[in-house]
Structure 1
């Protein structure tokens, strides 16, 4: 029986194409050494790593070590702190590198699958910077509580990055936006900030940075480190406000895709923390059902 938490498989690993051009072996070795030094330094910072200034600098250092250029279209913060509440930042999902690029723009909290917390080194760093983990294989009854916790964080002024496609795709257009996280924004009265992440070489979109399917993390890391002239392009769109999670999710998806669309009004009842009808609805919408 299909769990309501089940997500799309996303693109197969074969969609990730080897970079062209590639750096020479000597430069590749230098990049690995620079990355090792940067991650070791980040771990040594301990709890200070969670400080926004430090986290942003370390994220930029990781990109620099890998030879990845950060390009921000429309220089803007991911969060909109002038409202007194946090911002729900929603982006398309291509790679583990998405998180690094977005933290290099504006450090925010991240909502990630629980498996990330078990990754060597990366898991340690993720916990230190306050990553919120969600168990996608858990009971559907937990989902309304997870939505309520996210709404509480937003209401308290914490901005949170969510990837509503729930898995990775090789291009911007892949996958629908799950709606449960948007319910948290509705409940908290928080703005939603759509963000587009893409990777380019020589001005053309590439899939070399993608982390897909059952692929091993090291294979994706190798392609990123080997790519010559790889650019992570981040486009920050105008924030959205709405009272209906479906309309918000669709408006955010279209913004990320670069398709203009009006945001219709509406109302949405907050999900209760427990196995209520509203909770079952939220569970289906987390998985896109």
Structure 2
């Protein structure tokens, strides 16, 4: 009888291994339910400055909330993962600037907010998503980042942009009279500037000349978020480039046209007295530790 070759032995071992019963997979044990005392504890970890730049602020004794009238309800802000602008406390040397992009076609929307603090730091928060068809914001994309320090001077200069003295909503008069336009394509913009004691709101429809009147503001604001997430960039593919709209506004003025207050334009919200600054502790960058479970009863 001849010797059994290595190939035959290997084949026999493979068949024997296949014949071995396979142990059934044991499902992982479910995670234990959270402790109700911990779940409902009043101790909430403090978010980072990138997520909430003005977290933990409390109004001073003489500080009054600044009226916000931009058509965005506080609960809508929370759906987008942003602190309501109505609750933001800005103090000397600070500002919050935001813009909502509302396309005439489709349900994709975006919002960009920039916050400049008096400690010399600035942050951008941007969101994009589907504002339709589900109770939540569908496919929401979040951007939370700190901006380079060399951006701060340009952002602060936006508070003096002549656009803030324009009517809240406008119509374009090309020289032969102004007619209310209807957006059937393009993007409309709602912009809000919050500084100590006052807020300003502007709405610009999708007409290029209208948007061009605020091109400098939008370019700096949207440009702060552009290039950080391709999913966000797909909603605003031109990023901070508003050169076409700026040229349309320049052409309008060169031809003797102008922007006039629209029939729906309203006065800006009233200003409130600015209280003296009170010292405040520096913001903590490390979230607080989660509360521990209470001791077992003896």
User: What TM-score comes out, normalization by structure 1 length?
Assistant: 0.26
If each structure's helix is expressed as a fraction of its own residues, which one has the higher value? Answer: 1
Structure possessing the higher relative contact order (Cα contacts under 8 Å, 6 or more residues apart): 1
Larger radius of gyration: 2
TM-score, scaled relative to structure 2:
0.26
